[in-house]
Each structure stands twice: as C-alpha cells, then as structure tokens.
C-alpha cells in the first residue's frame, strides 16, 4: 500500500531540525523493509506567516509498503519524533500525519492554500478525516497544518533537490569545518546545475547554516546527480554523520504561482502598477516605493539586506511601470497599522524618460539664471544680465537601470526565492524566460 507521512514543527529556536528527523526515519524505514515512492520531500509553505520564523518547512515521506509493517513504521515515527524534537519548548508543536493512499484532491487544495495563506487547524482536521488519515499532535495542533500540507504538496511541477549532510553530535555548536576554496571550485564547476552555493560578490559561503542545528551543509541543485557530484567536490574537515537527498520546492517561487493581485495580509501578491512618487530612502538603508495600481496607492519596501536590489528600486521615478512581487505585511507607523509589500522580486516593464526642467545658463558668465518675474525673462544672480530671449532648458537624465527582471542579492534570498540562474531551467509547465535586468553604466 501507499503510505504518506507528513511531519512538521519539530524544531524550536534553540535547535532541532525537522529534516534531521526525516533523515533518521529514512534509515529506520529502510531497515524495517519499506520502499520509497519518492525522494523525501522538503516543502516550504507560506513564508509570510508571522509566527513561523524559521523558513516554514515541513517534510513528507512517501512509501510503498506491505500492510503488515504499518504499525511498526508508525511506532518508529512517533518514537523518533519524541526522542529528537523539542517537545515542550515554546512555539514547538510537532505533528505527524499518516495517510494510506495518495493525497486526495482536497488535501492538494489545502496544500496550495498553505503556500499562500493561513490555514486553520479545524479545516486541516476536517480534510484529514475526510481522507481517512490519522494524526498525532504533541502541542497546540499547529503542526498539523504543515504536516498535512507537506503530504499534499507532491511537487508535480517545478522542483529542485537538496543534499543535506549532518554533523556528529559532539560538534554541535562548534564552527563548521567546510573548506571555502572547495566550495568556490564546486560552484564554478557545477553551476547552474547547482545554485545558491557561493555568493561571489560578498565572498560568502551559502551552503553552511549558522547556529546550533545539526545541519552541516545543504547543496541545492536541479537533479539528484548534480547535488551528489557537487558533494564529492566539497572538502569537509569534520566527521559527516549522515546525508540524504531531498526533493523540494526550494528556488521555485511556488508561492507566487497563485499569488493574488490584491494585497491581503500575510499573503504573497503580484501587482502591476505605476511608480507614484520618487522612492524614499529611510534610516537603516531601506527603500520605500509607492505604487499606483488601479485607484489605490500601495506601499512597497525593499529592505537593506536586499543589496543592489534596493538600489534598483531607488532609481525608479514617477511614471515608470513595474510589476512587483512580495509578501504583504503590516507594521505600526505612528501607532497605526500600515500595509506594506515586502519586495521579493520586481520586473521593470517600462521606463519613462527622466526629463528635468532647469533655468537657462547666463549667456555672459555661465551661471544658472533666476526668474526675473512673471513674463520678465531671466536674470543672472552673478552678473545681473537680464534676458527675455533665453528660455528654460529640458534635460534628459540618463536612466541607469534597464527594463527587466531583478531579484534581491543572494544573502537576502528566502528558501522559495528563484535565483536568476534558475530562470529557464524550470521543470514542467513554464511560460517563457523573462529578460534579465541589468545595470547600465552612464
């Protein structure tokens, strides 16, 4: 029989890792005699949920097993979660879903909703019961939503792979001994079949996380073979406990596939509109943009860590036409709730000419003149030359950006962000490669 197991929310801010539990389960299941119907899946859900701060990941294990070992698999799953998750920690509400048979269309639908909105526990339980699935939850029940959504997210369309290697227990909390030069070489050799490994611009290794969790490194790529051969190129100077290849929705911007075109709190949105005012830079380096869409003005924000991306946004002028993608969040401005689209991507559709109107230069001394009064022409403030013949000048400023697609710097990428190198490499249905945006040096 087919058996799908979804797991969510086993980790806390203090450590632990749902993918690690999945890895332990892979080994246990194989020992018990299960066959896998797919690579273990990591599914990222709506990144804009306020109480989910660690990337909102859940896992699904899809098995083909004889009925006779079901109880043994169930026992192994629960025992492993109880032993390895942070049960009792604030905000950790582990949950497991066990579903015999393939996910029903209702589960698939719930899973799509969980990518873009907030799904209630009540609805999750109802959907699960209708599918005759069973669940075990250790806390508030919040983990049930992600666990069922993971089961339903079967990654039929675009997907990627991640090889995750784990550290031995005694090294937890110590610096990760992964050779930087080998990462650079691996990136050069295997890109674009691997992605988000090294940020050449900021000279940062991206495959190693920080913090106490058991992940040593994660290699992202297009195929299982790509991540496997990339892994062979990495020089690691500490013991590797175990590793496993996951199939994921990382780098697929799955959350934008059904993004709405009206801003709604905590949901992804995509909006086409006209730049309404000159973008404003606020203390901290963030850039705010007011966009006119239909009859409403929507505030968008490009935050400081987005790097060059926020500079692109800052170079827009009123009248430019853009399409923005991002998550809708609220924050307090002068004690009032304000809605902002946190920008994750922008397509510059059309740039208008940047015309500035200036007073004429003095024909005598070259100084810029001032109006001498209505209908009185211009007067030079330096040599007092007055003329009615000179007139205002219209100057065209060079635009330093070009139409095209822009995404934040890699260090500001979220798990679902599609890196530029993946455009054109999507699996399944795809609607064409958009032109890449470029800086243009004046």
383 binding Zn ion? (CB under 5 A): yes
Name the residue nearer to Zn ion (CB basis): 101 or 384. 384
Name the residue nearer to Zn ion (CB basis): 287 or 380. 380
Task: Give the span between the Cα atoms of 103 and 290, in whole angstroms.
Answer: 42
Q: Pick the stretch among 134-142, 151-159, 335-343, 356-364 that binds Zn ion (CB under 5 A).
A: 356-364
Name the residue nearer to Zn ion (CB basis): 169 or 389. 389
Question: 220 pairs with which residues across the strands?
Answer: 162, 195
In angstroms, what is the minimal distance from the CB of 401 to Zn ion? 36
Name the residue nearer to Zn ion (CB basis): 188 or 384. 384
Q: Which of 90, 331, 364, 440 binds Zn ion (CB under 5 A)?
A: 364
370 binding Zn ion? (CB under 5 A): no
- Encoding tokens for residue 427? 């699996």
SS3 per residue for 6-53 = EEECCCECCECCHHHHHHHHHHHHHHHCCEECCCCEEEECCCCCCCCC
Query: Which helix (H) or strand (E) is 127 found in, with range?
Result: helix 121-130
Q: 282, 288 in Cβ contact below 8 A?
A: yes
Name the residue nearer to Zn ion (CB basis): 198 or 378. 378
405 binding Zn ion? (CB under 5 A): no
Q: 314, 281 in Cβ contact below 8 A?
A: yes
- Encoding tokens for residue 199? 């940020």
Name the residue nearer to Zn ion (CB basis): 390 or 412. 390
Name the DSSP letter for residue 415.
T
Q: Residue 55: how many CB atoms within 10 A of its CB? A: 14
Name the residue nearer to Zn ion (CB basis): 367 or 388. 367
380 binding Zn ion? (CB under 5 A): yes
Name the DSSP letter for residue 228.
H
In angstroms, what is the minimal distance from the CB of 380 to Zn ion? 3
381 binding Zn ion? (CB under 5 A): no
In angstroms, what is the minimal distance from the CB of 368 to Zn ion? 9
Name the residue nearer to Zn ion (CB basis): 228 or 368. 368
Backbone angles phi, psi at 366, to 5 degrees: 90, -10
Q: Residue 387: how many CB atoms within 10 A of its CB? A: 16
Q: Pick the stretch among 49-57, 187-195, 256-264, 378-386 that binds Zn ion (CB under 5 A).
A: 378-386
Q: 11, 215 in Cβ contact below 8 A?
A: no
Q: Pick the stretch among 73-81, 336-344, 365-373, 431-439 that binds Zn ion (CB under 5 A).
A: 365-373
DSSP string, 283-351: TTS-EEEEEEETTEEEEEEE-GGGTHHHHHHHT--TT-EEEEEEEEEEEEETTEEEEEEEEEEEEEEE-
Query: Which helix (H) or strand (E) is 232 found in, with range?
Result: helix 224-232
> Site mask, Zn ion, residues 311-330, x = CB under 5 A?
--------------------
Q: Which of 30, 282, 365, 395 binds Zn ion (CB under 5 A)?
A: 365
362 binding Zn ion? (CB under 5 A): yes
Q: How many residues sit close enough to Zn ion to count as binding (CB under 5 A)?
A: 8
Name the residue nearer to Zn ion (CB basis): 288 or 378. 378
For residue 192, cis peptide bond before it (omega within 30 degrees of 0): yes
* Among 16, 305, 229, residue whose Cα is nearest residue 143: 16
Q: What is the CA radius of gyration of the chain?
A: 27
In angstroms, what is the minimal distance from the CB of 392 to Zn ion? 17
Name the residue nearer to Zn ion (CB basis): 202 or 388. 388
363 binding Zn ion? (CB under 5 A): no
36 binding Zn ion? (CB under 5 A): no
**Side-chain half-sphere of 105: how many Cα atoms within 13 Å?**
0
Q: Pick the stretch among 183-191, 299-307, 327-335, 376-384 that binds Zn ion (CB under 5 A).
A: 376-384
Query: Site residues for Zn ion, window 217-256 (CB under 5 A)?
Result: none
Q: Pick the stretch among 80-88, 196-204, 213-221, 372-380 that binds Zn ion (CB under 5 A).
A: 372-380
In angstroms, what is the minimal distance from the CB of 378 to Zn ion? 10
Name the residue nearer to Zn ion (CB basis): 35 or 382. 382
385 binding Zn ion? (CB under 5 A): yes
Q: 22, 10 in Cβ contact below 8 A?
A: no
Residue 67 sits at the vertex; the CA angle it makes with 61 and 73, to the nearest 5 degrees, is: 45
Q: Pick the stretch among 77-85, 193-201, 331-339, 383-391 that binds Zn ion (CB under 5 A).
A: 383-391
Binding site for Zn ion (CB under 5 A): 362, 364-365, 367, 380, 382-383, 385
């Amino acid at each position: 029989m087919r058996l799908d197991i979804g797991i969510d929310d086993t980790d806390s801010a203090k450590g632990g890792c749902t993918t690690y539990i999945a890895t332990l389960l892979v080994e246990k299941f194989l020992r018990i005699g299960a066959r896998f119907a797919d690579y273990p899946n990591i599914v990222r859900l709506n990144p804009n949920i306020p109480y989910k701060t660690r990337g909102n990941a859940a896992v699904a294990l899809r098995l083909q097993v004889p009925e006779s070992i079901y109880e043994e698999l169930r026992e192994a799953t629960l025992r492993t979660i109880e032993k390895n998750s942070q049960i009792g920690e604030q905000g950790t509400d582990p949950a497991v879903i066990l579903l015999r048979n393939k996910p029903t269309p209702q589960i698939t639908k719930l899973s799509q909703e969980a990518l873009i909105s907030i799904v209630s526990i009540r609805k999750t339980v109802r959907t699960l019961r209708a599918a005759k699935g069973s669940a075990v939850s250790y806390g508030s029940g919040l983990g049930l939503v992600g666990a069922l959504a993971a089961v339903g997210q079967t990654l039929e369309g675009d997907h990627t792979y991640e090889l995750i290697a784990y550290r031995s227990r005694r090294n937890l909390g110590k610096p990760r001994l992964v050779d930087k030069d080998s990462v650079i070489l691996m990136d050069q050799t295997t890109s674009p079949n691997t992605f988000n490994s090294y940020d050449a611009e900021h000279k940062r290794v991206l495959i190693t996380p920080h913090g106490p969790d058991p992940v040593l490194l994660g290699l992202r790529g297009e195929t299982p073979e790509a991540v496997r051969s990339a892994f062979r190129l990495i020089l690691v100077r500490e013991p590797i406990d175990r590793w496993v290849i996951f199939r994921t929705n990382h780098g697929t911007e799955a959350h934008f596939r059904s993004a709405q075109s009206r801003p709604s709190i905590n949901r992804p949105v995509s909006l086409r509109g006209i730049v309404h005012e000159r973008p404003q830079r606020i203390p901290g380096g963030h850039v705010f943009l007011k966009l006119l869409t239909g009859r409403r003005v929507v505030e968008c924000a490009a935050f400081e860590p987005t790097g060059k991306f926020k500079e692109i946004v800052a170079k827009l002028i009123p009248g430019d036409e853009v399409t923005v993608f991002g998550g809708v969040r609220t924050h307090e401005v002068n004690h009032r709730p304000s809605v902002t689209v946190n920008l994750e991507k922008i397509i510059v559709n059309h740039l208008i000419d940047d015309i500035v109107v200036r007073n004429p230069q003095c024909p005598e001394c070259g100084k810029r003149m001032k109006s001498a009064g209505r209908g009185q022409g211009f007067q030079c403030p330096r040599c007092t030359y007055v003329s009615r013949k000179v007139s205002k000048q219209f100057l065209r400023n060079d635009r330093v950006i070009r139409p095209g697609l822009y995404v934040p710097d890699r260090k500001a990428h979220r798990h679902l962000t599609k890196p530029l190198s993946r455009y054109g490499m999507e699996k399944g249905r795809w609607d064409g490669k958009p032109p890449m945006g470029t800086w243009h040096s004046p």
